[in-house]
């Protein structure tokens, strides 16, 4: 679905650009995008490498197990297809905990590891499993207790009350999580 979406984006973009006289801008984009995606890759790759390393330390010291045990009791009912002691729960919990503190870039390596371990349980390796779908739903809705990056930015701009929006963010991410999980479970039944 996602791969097809990129094709639609390109076709719609080129057609719309031609019709409205933005074809120069589109041309320029095509030429520049390969370079800018390499730049993004170079930016995120070291972060992923660093956090994969830290995650290894957290795993081997047993920290991940402890965190996982705390949170996975809550996660078990959402993932009926994953065995209760599977390490996927550890990675998913760490991913969600990093998201709760607004550390999106720290959450990504945990998320990628979680996907790898969910893929081990997946019987059709080309098609997303129910557990994967529930996980990405939970991940993108991302309950946020402390939006760290946002507060840092607001402090940088000299806000008189940098944490003013924290409660609203928490409530709206809780709502997003509840409703998208309901949709996920409804759609999963139809598979």
Partner 1 sequence: MGYTIFPNLLAMILSVNILINSGFLEWLFSLFLGNLKLPLELLSLIATKPISGSAALALLNNIYQTYGVDSFVSLLASTIEGCTDTTFYVIALYYGSVGIKKTRYALATSLFGDFVGIFTSIVLCYILFS
For partner 1, the closer CB: 62 or 191: 191
Please tell me whether residue 48 binds partner 1 under the rule CB under 8 A.
Answer: yes
Residues 122-181 that bind partner 1 (CB under 8 A): 125-128, 132-133, 136-137, 139-142, 144, 147, 149-150, 153-154, 157-161, 164-165, 168-169, 171-173, 175-177, 179-180
Work out how close the CB of 94 gets to partner 1 at its nearest, in angstroms, rounded to a whole number.
15
Minimum CB separation from partner 1 for residue 86, in Å? 16
Cβ-contact 138, 177 below 8 angstroms: yes
- Helices 23-60 and 2-20, axial angle in degrees (round to 10): 150
- The residue count for binding partner 1 (CB under 8 A) is 78
d(CA 87, CA 167): 32
Nearest to partner 1 of 64, 102 (CB atom): 102
Q: Which stretch binds partner 1 (CB under 8 A): 15-23, 53-61, 62-70, 74-82?
A: 15-23
Q: Which of positions 16-45 make contact with partner 1 (CB under 8 A)? A: 16-17, 20, 22, 25-26, 28-30, 32-34, 36-38, 40-41, 45
Separation of CA 128 from chain center = 15
Distance CA(107)–CA(158), nearest Å, equals 28
H-run or E-run covering 63: helix 63-75
- Closest C-alpha to 52, from 96, 132, 112, 99: 112
State the burial class of residue 158 (Cβ atoms within 10 Å of its Cβ: 0-12, 13-18, 19+): exposed
Q: Which of residues 69-128 bind partner 1 (CB under 8 A)?
A: 102, 104, 108, 111-112, 115-116, 118-119, 125-128
Contact flag: residue 2 with partner 1 (CB under 8 A):
yes
Task: State the sign of the Cα–Cα–Cα–Cα dihedral 77, 106, 103, 43.
Answer: negative
Assess 10 for contact with partner 1 (CB under 8 A): yes
Maximum pairwise Cα distance, the chain: 59
Q: Judged by CB, which is closer to partner 1: 26, or 63?
A: 26
Residue 9 near partner 1 by CB under 8 A: yes
């Amino acid at each position: 679905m996602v791969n097809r979406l990129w094709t639609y984006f390109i076709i719609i973009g080129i057609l719309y650009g031609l019709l409205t006289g933005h074809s120069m801008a589109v041309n320029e984009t095509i030429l520049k995008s390969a370079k800018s995606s390499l730049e993004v890759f170079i930016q995120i790759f070291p972060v992923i490498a660093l956090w994969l390393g830290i995650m290894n330390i957290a795993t081997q010291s047993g920290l991940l197990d402890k965190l996982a045990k705390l949170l996975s009791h809550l996660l078990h009912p959402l993932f009926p297809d994953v065995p209760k002691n599977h390490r996927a729960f550890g990675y998913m919990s760490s991913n969600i905990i990093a998201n709760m503190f607004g550390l999106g870039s720290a959450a990504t390596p945990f998320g990628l590891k979680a996907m790898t371990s969910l893929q081990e349980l997946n019987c059709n390796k080309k098609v997303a499993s129910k557990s994967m779908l529930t996980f990405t739903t939970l991940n993108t809705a991302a309950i946020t207790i402390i939006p760290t990056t946002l507060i840092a930015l607001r402090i940088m701009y000299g806000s008189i009350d940098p944490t003013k929006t924290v409660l609203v963010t928490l409530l709206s991410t809780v709502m997003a999580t509840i409703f998208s999980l309901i949709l996920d479970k409804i759609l999963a039944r139809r598979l």
